[in-house]
Amino acid sequence: MKVWRGVPLPDICLQQPAPLDDAGREALVTLERHVVHDVLFAPDPEPERYWETHDDGQMNATEVGDLMHSGDEVPIVSLTTSFNDTLLEISGKRLGVTAVVDDGGTLAGIITDGDLRRALAKMPDIRGARATDLMTPQPKTIAATVLAEQAVATMERHSITSLVVVDDTTQQPLGIIHLHDLLKAGVV
C-alpha cells in the first residue's frame, strides 16, 4: 500500500479501468473539482484532515449559481443614478449592496452600505451625488459556475461579505452572492 504524508492510500488498479456510466463520470468530475479546490486553497494540504472537513465523506458540489440572488432580486443601478434612488435600491433589495453598471450593462462598480456611510462623512451635500461618485470601481466578482467554497475563500481573503456574480464573457451582472446565503446553505 502506498502512503502519502503518512496516510495510507488504497491500491487502485489503473491498468484496465472499468467503463464509467453517467453517474460514475459525474462522481469523477465532482471529485476532481474538490481535489482542484483543495490544491488551490490549501497551501499545505493535510490529507488526514480532508474527510474531517468534508461532511463525513459527502462532498459538497454546490455552485455559486445555485445560491445567488438573481433576476428581480439583484440590486442594480446605473452610473448616473441619484443618491436617493441608489439608497432605495440597496434598502429595497435587502442585500446591503448594489451593482453599478454602465450604459451597456457591463459592471462598473459596487456600492455597499459602508460606501454610503463613508460618503456621508466626506461629502458636504450628498443629495447631489450620483452612483459613480459613491461606488467602488472594479469590485470583486465570481462566475456562477464556481464552487461555493471558492466564494467563501474569496470573501475571507478580501474581508468582504458579497460578490457580484458576472457573465465571464460580457462582465454583466447575473446575480449577487452574500455570505448569509453561503451560511444558510451550510457551505461555511
Q: Using CB atoms within 10 A of its CB, is residue 143 exposed (0-12), middle (13-18) or buried (19+)?
A: middle
* Beta strand 162-166 pairing with 173-178: antiparallel
- Domain count within the chain: 2
Judgement on whether residues 151 and 178 belong to the same structural domain of the protein: yes
Domain that holds residue 44: 2-9+19-57
The answer to the question of residue 48 being in a domain is yes
- Helix residue ranges, H only, 71-139: 83-93, 113-122, 131-134
Cell 488504497 identifies what position?
A: 10
CA distance linking residue 163 with residue 176, whole number of Å? 6
Rounded to 10°, the helix 113-122/83-93 angle is 150
Q: What residues are paired with 78 via a beta bridge?
A: 101
- What's the DSSP call for residue 175? E
Q: Is residue 25 part of a domain?
A: yes
Overall size of the chain counted in residues? 188
pLDDT digits (tens, 9 = 90+) for 136-168: 999 999 999 999 999 999 999 999 999 999 999
| pLDDT tens digits, one per residue of 80-126 | 999 999 999 999 999 999 999 999 999 999 999 999 999 989 988 88
CA dihedral angle for residue 52, residue 58, residue 64, residue 69, rounded to 10 degrees: -100
Would residue 14 count as lying in a domain?
no
